[in-house]
Amino acid sequence: MDDRLSQACRLTRLRAGEPAERREDWLAREEPLQLRLNGRDYSVLMRTPGHDRQLALGHLLAEGVISGVDEVLDMVRCAEDEALRGNSLDVILAPGCEVDWPAQSRASASTSSCGVCGKTSIEAVLARRCLPPLGPALQVPAALLTALPEALRQAQPTFAQTGGLHACALFSGGGELLALREDVGRHNALDKLIGWALQEGRWPCSEAILLLSGRVSFEMMQKAAACGVGLVAAISAPSSLAVQFAEQSGQTLVAFLRAGSMNVYTHPQRVVEAGA
């Protein structure tokens, strides 16, 4: 098991009618990642270690700091800061890639204080992001979608061990698992997946299905749009703003995905029913 993702702990197990039991358990690991741009502090991400460079790439793309992997020259670990124990990454941007620091500060404040509300704000986000086109209308059989949660679970050994990680996965239109990332933060898991697509030359992902292990928020749909994904499926529930965003962005949003059932909230033309 990858010890970057989990760590052991001792606990006391209490059950009604039984004596207390001391036992070992496994926890999802969570540590801060100090992200810097050209040596200047940018953000601190609370994440599960592993795939940090993909996390940085995906996060910067989703936040509109970069528009492609060619705008990043290098990523360097900042080993001189002993307090961070290597949990610091300096992203060296290409010449001409300028960071609008005041705008980034405002964006961070809006995210942390839920500064996005309603149709007007969604239109503003869609207007200011350089989002890739969703591409041709991918059509997927409903039966294929309902089989994906089990495929996701089978590919999550650390979740099986800890029960404490979110997962995001990209599948081909034929149901093949392309990549999966886990993290204590669902936003981080998706950023890592976007970073993978950038590194592998698979971005934008207009021909892929995105599967989320948890609920679907506005930010998750926005990140999916930044990756060019037109079909987003989730095992849990969507938020109202996620549905509004999907409607306006042209994305198909499927939630409450279970064996044999699902709710298709927007643009149902991408989900093909049996016999249709």
Q: What pLDDT shows up at residue 254? A: 98
CA 49, CA 184: separation in Å to the nearest integer? 10
Q: At residue 248, what is the residue type?
A: Q
The CATH architecture of the domain made up of 140-272 is 3-Layer(aba) Sandwich (3.40)
Domain boundaries, the chain: 31-117, 140-272
Q: What pLDDT shows up at residue 111? A: 42
Residue 221 has pLDDT above 80, yes or no: yes
Active-site amino acid positions:
114
How open is the CA angle 255-259-262, to the nearest 5 degrees?
25
252-258 β-sheet, strand order: 177-183, 166-172, 208-212, 231-234, 252-258, 261-266
Query: pLDDT digits over 102-159, tens only?
Result: 766 544 433 433 445 445 556 666 665 567 888 777 899 999 999 999 999 888 776 6
DSSP class of 83:
G
Half-sphere exposure of 162 (CA within 13 A, CB side): 26
Query: pLDDT digits over 11-47, tens only?
Result: 888 889 888 889 887 888 889 999 999 999 999 999 9
What pLDDT band is residue 162 in, cutting at 50, 70 and 90?
Answer: low
What residues form DSSP beta bridges with 119? none
Residue 83 has pLDDT above 70, yes or no: no
Span 191-215, average pLDDT: 95
Span 255-274, average pLDDT: 92
From the options 3.10.20.10, 3.90.1170.10, 2.60.120.10, 3.40.1190.20, give the CATH code of 31-117: 3.10.20.10
**Is the previous residue joined to 32 through a cis bond, with omega within 30 degrees of 0?**
no
pTM here? 0.86
Q: What pLDDT shows up at residue 52? A: 95
Q: What pLDDT shows up at residue 160? A: 61
Span 162-180, average pLDDT: 90
Percent share of the chain, pLDDT over 70: 82
